[in-house]
């Protein structure tokens, strides 16, 4: 055993030494090669650059695609501004020579202890190199290259030059590169005029511009700003009094509205997508000469712009159009103080086709004509309400979707199951929070919500007969030499069966015919639509208004609301639907959705549907007036045939004698005739009546029998008879007591 352990130790040591030698050689090789890379001073100076973006016809998109329009000299910035960044990002900036090895070792130990990448250890110099010369890919080779170039950079430039270059290249969110652009955007002032608390806010922002965005996440930004101030106080860069005063200041933004349309342009959305594809910040994309080719259709973009501009709107908004064949975004327009495509909003009833009706059809739980009782309901503690707090009794799934009745939607979600419904949603690009587990999901009640691109993508699934593919702005990208480095290859996933998607589309057409999207009737073209309105809790005000519509070729989604959650005066059926109408009026289609072979029409018994709320097939004997055609999937056909007009049956009847008359009560059906005979003589006839009947018949004998004949009015040969016998009671004799 000792011999085995000895050899095991020797072999393990040899392997470990070999790994260390190989790793050292690898590091040395990468480091040596990195030191041969020339530092490009032009990239460090944060030059004014433009990203070239093209539409589907390879024509340049004429929108603002500029990077770093403004530059701040280090000499113009206050000590508080410079110190804020040093305190939170690199305390030893003026001491190290590009790399803080002590900090790297400490971060590695903390990461090993936490068993995850929790801390970074990049100096300001390293961040400058990464943002100007390297990608953001988290690889060992890139880190070594970053370290090598950082030490090289420190030999060529002074600390103040490096700090100036860093402050003018770093990203502050909302399309702001450099402190000058950030100051102008967030505070509408030059960087030289920043106050202490404003400088601390910007310094805290760069760690995660999305998480610490002072517009979207005020509390996160406030905590991060105060952390920066605490670090400055700890390093004796400001006094305790200055720190306390600055911490007590509220975040006061003065957004430069000149930039907001640029934030929500088609070009900006394309750049944001390209950043994720190339793993490069926009500045690097511009500096390295990449060209972005998109799916934008100039005509459709102009149509969308005009459709939105023609409607009087005093809120933020977004409109998006997807080509259902390519899954490319062909038009986009938004308005807001930050990027709307990065925002999640409550979808309201627009989520119903995605989470409720689509899954229920696909799981063969409902037919479009299935009736659901709209009544006061409480499911697992959730008590949904309808608009106006009204109840409609039994309504079909089609009608409840078209008229956006809430309670049936919640009931159907309970039949599908929350987890299964969410899986369908995720397969159509909808993202959920871990707390999205309640039945309020049926009505769009989500922790965070969805964005307009997600909604358009989900609905395009229905237009594509159940196939989902993530919608994209970018078609392909070339490098500075014209070589294609990326091509979008849509990956389609069959989320719903073709028949289920078609049935849902047909139901959403009813929303236009008789439901909440009636404004679209005038288009007189094949189109499916759903509206959504999100109310403010505890008030009659609204926060979000939606319309998502689609034709065989194009899907269009429109959202109106305010990113600061101030109320709006719109509903989904009004302004958003008007915008959609304006758009499609310029893009009419004549071809209807193609009916899949799995869709069949069958006649159902309408009497059974109305009386017992069951979907049963009509038999061959039923008159046309008591049947109607309904569409079904061959995978989910009614299994029962009606026996009406094949067999007649007399309804249950109750009888009694009252005031020497026979009283008979029963429930009549409109399509039945009821005749009452005594001694072969017709004494009463009831026809064409519905509901509870109370009839009285004269009693002419002590004991009398009535024959009831029930038959179908339109088929009198199909009948049933029943006898009811009455005994007339004698009046009691008034016997007086003997003692009276």
Give me 414's structure tokens.
């309970």
Check whether residue 677 and residue 705 sit in a common domain: yes
The verdict on residue 289 lying in a domain is no
Q: Report the predicted TM-score, pTM, of the whole model to 2 decimal places.
A: 0.79
Distance CA(132)–CA(166), nearest Å, equals: 9
The verdict on residue 146 lying in a domain is yes
3-state secondary structure of 602: strand
CA angle 134–136–138, rounded 5-degree value:
115
Hey, how many other C-beta atoms are within 10 angstroms of the C-beta on 268? 25
Distance CA(365)–CA(416), nearest Å, equals: 7
The verdict on residue 287 lying in a domain is no
Backbone angles phi, psi at 533, to 5 degrees: -135, 130
Question: Nearest Cα to 206, choosing from 35, 287, 90?
Answer: 90
CA distances to 55, 545, 546, 584 from 571, rounded to whole Å, are 33, 5, 8, 20
Question: Nearest Cα to 154, choosing from 29, 72, 42, 35?
Answer: 35
Question: Nearest Cα to 92, choosing from 124, 46, 133, 114?
Answer: 124
Question: For 687-730, what is each residue's pLDDT tens digit?
Answer: 999 999 999 999 988 899 999 999 999 989 999 999 999 987 75
3-state secondary structure of 562: coil
User: Of 21 and 570, which is predicted with more confidence?
Assistant: 570
43 contact partners, CB below 8 Å, separation of at least 6: 132, 133, 287
Q: Which helix (H) or strand (E) element contains residue 27?
A: helix 2-35
Average pLDDT for residues 210-236, to the nearest whole number?
91
Distance CA(648)–CA(669), nearest Å, equals: 12
Check whether residue 19 and residue 56 sit in a common domain: no
Name the one residue in this structure whose structure tokens are 């950043």: 275
Lowest-confidence segment of 92-101, 224-233, 727-736 by average pLDDT: 727-736
Question: For 47-102, what is each residue's pLDDT tens digit?
Answer: 567 788 999 999 998 766 666 567 889 999 999 999 999 999 888 888 888 777 77
Check whether residue 257 and residue 381 sit in a common domain: no
Average pLDDT for residues 13-36, to the nearest whole number?
63
Check whether residue 98 and residue 211 sit in a common domain: yes
Distance CA(560)–CA(529), nearest Å, equals: 16
The verdict on residue 642 lying in a domain is no
- What is the pLDDT at residue 217? 87
pLDDT band at 105 (very low <50, low <70, confident <90, very high): confident
**What does pLDDT average to over the chain?**
88
Lowest-confidence segment of 117-121, 136-140, 499-503 by average pLDDT: 117-121
Cβ(228)–Cβ(84) below 8 Å: yes
Check whether residue 114 and residue 235 sit in a common domain: yes
The verdict on residue 361 lying in a domain is yes
CATH of residue 661's domain is 2.60.40.10
Residues spanned by the domain of 114 = 41-261
The verdict on residue 646 lying in a domain is no
Cβ(519)–Cβ(530) below 8 Å: no
Cβ(98)–Cβ(250) below 8 Å: no
CA angle 417–423–429, rounded 5-degree value:
140
Average pLDDT for residues 501-518, to the nearest whole number?
96
The verdict on residue 539 lying in a domain is yes
Distance CA(212)–CA(209), nearest Å, equals: 5
- What is the pLDDT at residue 7? 66
471: DSSP letter:
-
Question: For 470-482, what is each residue's pLDDT tens digit?
Answer: 999 999 999 999 9
Check whether residue 451 and residue 309 sit in a common domain: yes
pLDDT of residue 626 exceeding 90: yes
Check whether residue 32 and residue 53 sit in a common domain: no
Check whether residue 609 and residue 689 sit in a common domain: no
- What is the pLDDT at residue 170? 87
Q: What are the start-end ranges of the E strands in 618-702?
A: 627-633, 654-658, 661-668, 672-678, 681-687, 691-698
Check whether residue 251 and residue 318 sit in a common domain: no
Distance CA(444)–CA(439), nearest Å, equals: 9
Q: Which of 204, 232, 261 is the last residue of a domain?
A: 261
In percent, the amount of the chain with pLDDT more than 90 equals 65
Name the one residue in this structure whose structure tokens are 């006898």: 723
- What is the pLDDT at residue 42? 65
pLDDT band at 151 (very low <50, low <70, confident <90, very high): confident
CA distances to 16, 675, 687, 731 from 661, rounded to whole Å, are 109, 17, 22, 14
Question: Nearest Cα to 91, choosing from 287, 196, 234, 282?
Answer: 234
Which residues are registered as beta bridge partners of 667? 692
User: Of 96 and 425, which is predicted with more confidence?
Assistant: 425
Distance CA(430)–CA(90), nearest Å, equals: 39
pLDDT band at 733 (very low <50, low <70, confident <90, very high): very low
Give me 48's structure tokens.
């004014």
pLDDT band at 568 (very low <50, low <70, confident <90, very high): very high
Check whether residue 353 and residue 418 sit in a common domain: yes
Domains identified in the chain, total number: 5
Question: For 320-363, what is each residue's pLDDT tens digit?
Answer: 999 999 999 999 999 988 889 999 999 999 999 999 999 999 99
Question: Nearest Cα to 353, choosing from 420, 425, 448?
Answer: 425
pLDDT of residue 731 exceeding 80: no
Check whether residue 130 and residue 26 sit in a common domain: no
The verdict on residue 22 lying in a domain is yes
Check whether residue 314 and residue 334 sit in a common domain: yes
In percent, the amount of the chain with pLDDT more than 70 equals 87
């Amino acid at each position: 055993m000792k011999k085995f352990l000895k050899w095991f130790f020797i072999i393990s040591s040899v392997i470990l030494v070999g790994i260390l030698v190989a790793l050292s050689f690898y590091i040395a090789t990468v480091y040596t090669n990195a030191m041969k890379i020339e530092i490009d001073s032009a990239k460090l100076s944060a030059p004014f650059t433009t990203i070239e973006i093209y539409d589907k016809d390879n024509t340049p998109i004429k929108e603002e695609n500029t990077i770093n329009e403004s530059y701040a000299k280090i000499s113009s910035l206050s000590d508080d501004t410079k110190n804020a960044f040093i305190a939170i990002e690199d305390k030893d900036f003026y001491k190290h020579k590009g790399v803080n090895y002590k900090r790297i070792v400490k971060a590695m130990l903390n990461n090993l202890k936490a068993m995850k990448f929790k801390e970074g250890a990049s100096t300001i110099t390293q961040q400058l190199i990464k943002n100007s010369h390297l990608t953001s890919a988290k690889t060992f080779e890139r880190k070594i290259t970053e370290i090598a170039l950082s030490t090289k950079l420190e030999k060529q430039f002074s600390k103040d030059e490096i700090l100036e270059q860093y402050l003018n290249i770093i990203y502050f969110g909302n399309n702001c590169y450099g402190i000058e652009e950030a100051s102008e955007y967030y505070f509408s002032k030059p960087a030289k005029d920043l106050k202490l608390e404003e400088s601390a806010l910007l310094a805290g922002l760069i760690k995660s511009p999305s998480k610490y965005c002072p517009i979207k996440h005020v509390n996160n930004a406030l905590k991060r700003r105060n952390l920066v101030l605490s670090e400055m106080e700890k390093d004796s860069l400001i006094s305790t009094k200055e720190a306390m005063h600055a911490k007590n200041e509220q975040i006061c933004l003065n957004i430069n509205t000149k930039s907001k349309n640029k934030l929500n342009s088609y070009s900006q959305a394309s750049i944001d997508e390209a950043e994720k594809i190339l793993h490069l910040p926009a500045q690097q994309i511009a500096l390295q000469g990449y060209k972005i080719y998109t799916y934008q259709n100039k005509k459709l973009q102009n149509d969308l712009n005009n459709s939105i501009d023609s409607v009087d709107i005093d809120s933020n908004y977004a409109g998006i159009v997807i080509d259902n064949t390519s899954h490319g975004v062909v038009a986009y327009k938004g308005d807001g103080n930050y990027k709307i495509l990065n925002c999640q909003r409550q979808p309201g009833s627009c989520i119903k086709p995605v989470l409720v009706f689509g899954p229920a059809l696909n799981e063969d739980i409902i037919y479009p004509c299935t009736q659901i009782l709209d009544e006061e309901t409480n499911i697992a503690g959730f008590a949904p309400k309808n608009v106006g707090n009204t109840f409609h009794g039994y309504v079909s799934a089609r009608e409840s979707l078209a008229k956006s009745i809430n309670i049936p939607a919640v009931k159907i979600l309970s039949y599908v199951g929350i987890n299964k419904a969410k899986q369908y949603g995720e397969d159509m690009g909808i993202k959920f929070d871990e707390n999205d587990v309640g039945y309020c999901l049926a009505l769009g009640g989500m922790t965070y919500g969805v964005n307009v691109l997600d909604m358009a993508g989900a609905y395009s699934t229905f237009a594509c007969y159940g196939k989902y593919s993530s919608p994209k702005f970018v078609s392909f990208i070339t490098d500075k030499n014209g070589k294609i480095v990326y091509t979008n290859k849509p990956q389609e996933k069959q989320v719903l069966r073709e028949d289920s998607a078609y049935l849902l589309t047909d139901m959403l057409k009813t929303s236009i015919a008789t439901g909440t999207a009636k404004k679209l009737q005038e288009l007189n073209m094949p189109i499916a639509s759903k509206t959504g309105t999100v109310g403010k809790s505890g008030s009659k005000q609204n926060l979000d208004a939606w319309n998502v519509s689609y034709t065989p070729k194009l899907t269009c989604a429109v959202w109106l609301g305010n990113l600061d959650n101030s109320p709006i005066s719109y509903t989904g059926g009004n302004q958003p639907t008007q915008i959609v109408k304006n758009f499609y009026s310029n893009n009419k289609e004549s071809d209807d959705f193609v009916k899949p072979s799995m869709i069949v029409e069958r006649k159902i018994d309408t009497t059974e549907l109305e009386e017992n709320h069951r979907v049963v097939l009509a038999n061959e004997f039923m008159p046309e007036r008591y049947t109607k055609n309904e569409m079904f999937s061959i995978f989910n056909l009614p299994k029962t045939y009606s026996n009406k007009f094949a067999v007649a049956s007399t309804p249950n009847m109750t009888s009694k004698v009252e005031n020497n008359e026979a009283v008979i009560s029963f429930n009549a059906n409109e399509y039945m005739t009821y005749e009452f005979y005594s001694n072969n003589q017709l004494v009463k006839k009831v026809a064409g009546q519905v509901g509870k009947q109370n009839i009285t018949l004269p009693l002419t004998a002590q004991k009398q029998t009535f024959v009831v004949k029930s038959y179908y009015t339109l088929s009198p040969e199909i009948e049933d008879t029943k006898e009811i016998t009455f005994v007339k009671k004698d009046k009691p004799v008034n016997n007086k007591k003997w003692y009276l």
